[in-house]
Amino acid sequence: MSADSLDLYETQRRTLTVLVNEYQQRDSPVNSSVLAERMDRTPGTIRNKMPQLESLGLVEGVAGPTGGYEPTEKAFQVLDRDPDTERESVTVAHDFERVDATVESVSFTNVNHPSDCRAWVEFQTAMPSIEVGDPVAIGPTAQAGLVVAGEVHTTNDTGNRISLTISRMEAPVTDD
């Protein structure tokens, strides 16, 4: 089974994503306490999940007082990430406060519907303060300068993915 076709449960993918993000920020092993804090879980829960990811060749355990877990090259492939590329953070406005967050992706659904345009927004880290019904604005994105604003329609249980009912989208006009 190739890394591209490896199907992970959502919790496995989320754990791996948080590990990769933390590892890229610090360039050293990430312990279970840090991962647990980022995912709003207990360190024991994280330690119980790691053998699954290790058996898939996605994580390596590092022993010792400064040990923890490191993602393998295969982990970066599964997440379709370049280990040498840093991600741009995108401004997220929530409750009139700006928050710098790294957005993994914005995927538009039913954009052709005349009155109901939605988008899935996936963040690299959990955004637990964002709840259904909250107004949110995201952007401008690094490359396209896109700004998306709307109301949170749904969130996932790990807090890193929201569905927005879009009320407004803006992109800069270019003279190409």
Q: How many residues does the chain have?
A: 176
DSSP secondary structure of 7-53: ---HHHHHHHHHHHHHHHHHSS-B-HHHHHHHHTS-HHHHHHHHHHH
Examine the domain organization and report whether 143 and 106 are in the same domain: yes
Enclosing domain of residue 129: 90-170
Examine the domain organization and report whether 25 and 54 are in the same domain: yes
Strands (E), the chain: 59-62, 68-71, 90-94, 97-101, 103-109, 118-123, 135-138, 147-155, 161-170
Q: List, for residues 28-50, the tens digit of each pLDDT value.
A: 899 999 888 878 889 999 999 99
Among the candidates 50, 79, 108, a domain finishes at 79
Q: Is residue 85 part of a domain?
A: no
CATH number reported for the structural domain that contains residue 74 in this entry: 1.10.10.10
Examine the domain organization and report whether 115 and 154 are in the same domain: yes
Domain count, the chain: 2
Q: Is residue 61 part of a domain?
A: yes
DSSP state of 87: P
Give the tokens for residue 24.
Answer: 């890229």
Q: Is residue 4 part of a domain?
A: no
Q: Is residue 175 part of a domain?
A: no
Select the more confidently predicted residue: 34 or 159. 34
Examine the domain organization and report whether 72 and 95 are in the same domain: no
Q: Is residue 136 part of a domain?
A: yes
Examine the domain organization and report whether 135 and 63 are in the same domain: no
- β-pairing, 161-170 vs 147-155, is antiparallel
Q: Is residue 23 part of a domain?
A: yes
Rounded to whole angstroms, how far apart are CA atoms 27 and 30? Answer: 9
DSSP state of 63: -
Give the number of other Cβ atoms within 10 Å of residue 176's Cβ: 3
Among the candidates 29, 56, 79, a domain finishes at 79
Q: Is residue 2 part of a domain?
A: no
Cβ atoms of residues 40 and 157 within 8 Å: no
pLDDT at 20: 87
Q: List, for residues 52-84, the tens digit of each pLDDT value.
A: 999 999 999 999 888 899 999 999 888 877 666
Rounded to whole angstroms, how far apart are CA atoms 92 and 14? Answer: 20
Q: Is residue 24 part of a domain?
A: yes
